[in-house]
Structure 1
Amino acid sequence: MIHTWPSPAKINLFLYVTGIRSDGYHSIQSLFQFLNYGDTLKIIPNKTGNIELFSEKKLFLNRENTIINAAQLLKSKALYYKKTNCTNLGAKIFLNKKIPIGSGLGGGSSNAATVLIVLNQLWKIKFTLTELAEFSLKIGSDIPAFVMGKTSVIEGIGEIIHPIKRKEKWYLVIYPKIHILTKNIFSSFLLKNKTQKKPIQLLLSSPFSNDFENIVTKKFRKIKKLISILSLYAPTRITGTGSCVFAEFNDKITAEKIFSLLPKNIEGFIAKSVDISPLHHIFYEKKTHIFN
């Protein structure tokens, strides 16, 4: 039985705020692109009733986070909807972290989605992906897109998902070692700066940008400098509300060449875009081998 599961990174190829709702949530339009790069989670189910999270060094992580929240939410929903009679569902989860925290690459949301999908199967609860996506909004607005697992245009507060197909690209992603809290960036957004909502085809055919970039670069001069450096070689922007900046290339060789031209103290990675989440690829390509 497979125990280790991918938890992929994403980048927002564009991100626009189209309004702020009466409950304070922001309405967005965003192009959500999966990468073949990310964390991994080793998930071992048990019947202790406990959800335990460990680092890759097997250190117990005794704090609230999206992984614990996702497992506890799934368990409570399973009991509420009588998907199980087992009140002592538990799991040991080991996190191997590669996605930087606060980077805009969706690490915490991706971790939560992987936990929801895998434990849904391992605990034999059998919620649909749509049901899991609906539940997951309670934890974070990016999680439904990770649950559904396809490159998509995201609308609303993250619950409206339009899968699309894009040509394979390569991305050079630079991390400035800055942890940005999403809620701080959203709270800095002024309603007067919102973008008019557009039809999806118009969005995809127009130049891409990120409504939060001005806020982030004003708060963090290092990120502005990184954008200036990478922009000498290719169009560059931030992803999400995080600190990572990225540039798009048609092939890996070009991405590697540009990376080699950057100052040696700049950290980053090169990854390929994938239209289907690596987790979904395993589930639906090899499903008959996984849980038998």
Structure 2
Amino acid sequence: MNHEIRSLDNCLAPAKLNLFLHVNGRRSDGYHLLQTVFQLLNYGDLLDFETRNDGVIRRITDIPGVAEESDLIVRAAKLLQIAAKKKDGQAKASLGANIAIKKILPMGGGLGGGSSDAATTLMTLNHLWQTGFSRTELMEIGLQLGADVPFFVFGQNAFAEGVGETLQAVQTPAAWYVVIEPGVSIPTALIFSSEELTRDTKLVKIADFSGHQRCFGKNDLEIVATKLFPVVAEAISWLKKYGDARMTGSGACVFCAFTDEEQADVVLMQLKTQKKHWKAWKASAIECHPLKDLI
């Protein structure tokens, strides 16, 4: 049987940093109310997509510790498949895909890796399958998978509120970042459920961030994560010698901004000499998701 092969390779699922992260309250359903600025980086996982016409979704790469059926990549593809069937009936019943991934971002690192993978899957398959969903519709589908997924579909740096789903585009400074992976994976739920987490940080406005971009605010989750995982505190302390180092998301990765790549390289060299057991890398800030124009 002849099949029409349609594919896209090396689709970037970029990492994000939380330039600050404030916890402002807690809803009755247990979800936390947040304010944060999401910053996209030119560094992340790489995904390959090939369509198939038998309705089967397959992740053809093995990821240790992540079962295929529970992977956000597969779940995102299946949600899009279901939405397409509802929209166009049997016309979309045969949509399927083989998906491969080069996993670069650590799990439990606070870089949004799984959410970014899901968003890249939604955007790419929406294009390859020609399902015609708008960005808003894809964001709504993505929200079923996690609060960070809509941001990556949104496709540009954002000031986020609510549980992270209320987004406004924001200008962020050009920068190079050094990111340290301390070697631990931190479950998000562990940090948010802590009795030591403060949940009453005063609300800020987007203009407040825009006026103090370089070292605005703090990460309210950092104090909990550093007590539970001392290596995170150690990484922040080491990186603070070079600038305003802080943790991203619920951890474990920590970062520091630099004005140019050369500064980042100097710090990386020092780190490789003094802290050989830590993985670290550099990445530049980007304004938009590389796949933003697919929608």
Relative to the length of structure 2, the TM-score reads 0.90
The letter of the residue matching 1:258 is: V
Q: How does 1:85-234 map to 2 (within 5 A)?
A: 85-188=91-194, 192-206=198-212, 207-234=216-243
Question: Helix, strand or coil: the match of 2:109?
Answer: coil
CA displacement 1:37-68 (0-9 Å, x = unmatched): 011110111112111002279xx963411111
Residue number in structure 2 paired with 1:3: 8
Q: CA RMSD in A?
A: 1.9
Question: Helix, strand or coil: the match of 2:51?
Answer: strand
Residue number in structure 1 paired with 2:56: 50
Question: Helix, strand or coil: the match of 2:54?
Answer: coil
Provide the aligned length of Structure 1 versus Structure 2: 281
After superposing the two structures, state which structure 1 stretch, 203-212 or 107-116, moved more: 203-212
The 1-side partners of 2:27 and 2:89 are apart by: 34
CA displacement 1:4-34 (0-9 Å, x = unmatched): 1111111100111111111111111110000
The percent of aligned pairs where both chains have the same amino acid is 39
Check conservation: 1:112, 1:143, Cα contact below 8 A: yes
The letter of the residue matching 1:74 is: L
The 2-side partners of 1:52 and 1:193 are apart by: 41
Measured after TM superposition, the shift of residue 181 of structure 1 is: 1.2
Residue number in structure 2 paired with 1:287: none
The 2-side partners of 1:79 and 1:246 are apart by: 42
Measured after TM superposition, the shift of residue 189 of structure 1 is: 5.6
The 1-side partners of 2:278 and 2:268 are apart by: 9
Q: 1:36 to 1:222 in 2, by over 3 A?
A: same
CA displacement 1:234-266 (0-9 Å, x = unmatched): 111000012000000000000110111122332
Check conservation: 2:196, 2:224, Cα contact below 8 A: no
Q: 1:189 to 1:46 in 2, by over 3 A?
A: farther
Q: 1:273 to 1:2 in 2, by over 3 A?
A: farther
Question: Helix, strand or coil: the match of 1:241?
Answer: coil
Relative to the length of structure 1, the TM-score reads 0.91
Q: 1:224 to 1:83 in 2, by over 3 A?
A: farther
Residue number in structure 1 paired with 2:279: 267
Q: 1:232 to 1:156 in 2, by over 3 A?
A: same
Measured after TM superposition, the shift of residue 140 of structure 1 is: 0.5
The letter of the residue matching 1:195 is: T
Q: Which runs of 5+ in 1 are unaligned?
A: 285-292
The 2-side partners of 1:97 and 1:191 are apart by: 31
Residue number in structure 1 paired with 2:36: 30
The 1-side partners of 2:149 and 2:8 are apart by: 21
Check conservation: 1:56, 1:97, Cα contact below 8 A: no
Measured after TM superposition, the shift of residue 88 of structure 1 is: 2.4
Measured after TM superposition, the shift of residue 167 of structure 1 is: 2.5
Residue number in structure 1 paired with 2:3: none
After superposing the two structures, state which structure 1 stretch, 137-146 or 179-188, moved more: 179-188
Q: Which runs of 5+ in 2 are unaligned?
A: 1-5
The 2-side partners of 1:222 and 1:277 are apart by: 31
The 1-side partners of 2:147 and 2:28 are apart by: 17
